[in-house]
Amino acid sequence: MSCDSSGYRFPDAVKDPGESLKVELDLYDMCAVRFKSNEPYDSGNFVRPNVPNGFAYEVTTAGVSGPSEPRWPTTIAATIVSGSATFTCRAAGSNAINALTSPTATSDPTGLTISSASVLENYKILATYAGGADGESFDAVFSFTLDSVTRIARQTVNVRKR
């Protein structure tokens, strides 16, 4: 998903009315800085391939990327030239990941308790769902900040007796 503020919808979750359900919502696609063709890049910036390969690439020579995504090397410290920019393979870590901050959560409609909304690994929201009666459905609505913009993520929570 592109990094816009319109929102992100996660697959539905199902929880038993008498149990709590811990969830981990992965926003990697929204947070990763992806390679773009014909884009100016400054030295020291990082990008990730559009098809994840487990590595990040540091811009080691500033320039404008080429018209298509390169075939990324997967050996640490190997380089690839794209247009006038040079990219160097690095361990992924948290580089090229924009950290999300300030997650909050609400239930729509009210009736589902959402607690412990926190961030893990810069791009995951952790939370716990509790309550709700058998047969009810709720939208868990998460608000967070990414790239100085408030964004929304939603997950439908269906309460069903197991």
HEC per residue, 35-75: CCCCCEECCCCEEECCCCCCEEEEEEECEECCCCCCCCCCC
Distance CA 60, CA 43 (A): 5
Whether the CB-CB separation of 72 and 49 falls below 8 Å is answered with yes
pLDDT digits (tens, 9 = 90+) for 73-92: 999 999 999 999 999 999 98
Domain 8-30+98-159 has CATH 2.60.40.10: yes
Element (H, E) at 29: helix 28-31
Integer Cα distance of 42 and 24 in angstroms: 33
- Tell me the C-alpha distance between 102 and 134, whole Å: 31
pLDDT along the chain (162 residues), means of 10: 62 96 92 95 96 95 98 98 98 89 96 96 95 97 91 96 88
- Across 70-136, the runs of DSSP E, i.e. the strands, are 79-82, 85-91, 101-108, 112-120, 124-131
Closest CA to 43 of 84, 91, 2: 84
What is the predicted pLDDT for the residue at 28?
A: 86
| Domain spans of the chain, in order of start | 8-30+98-159, 33-91
The pLDDT assigned to 6 comes to 57
Give the Cβ contact number of residue 6 at 10 Å.
8
Q: Which is nearest to 70 in space by CA: 55, 62, 81, 85? A: 81
Digit-coded pLDDT (tens) for 117-128: 999 988 999 999
Average of per-residue pLDDT values in the chain: 93
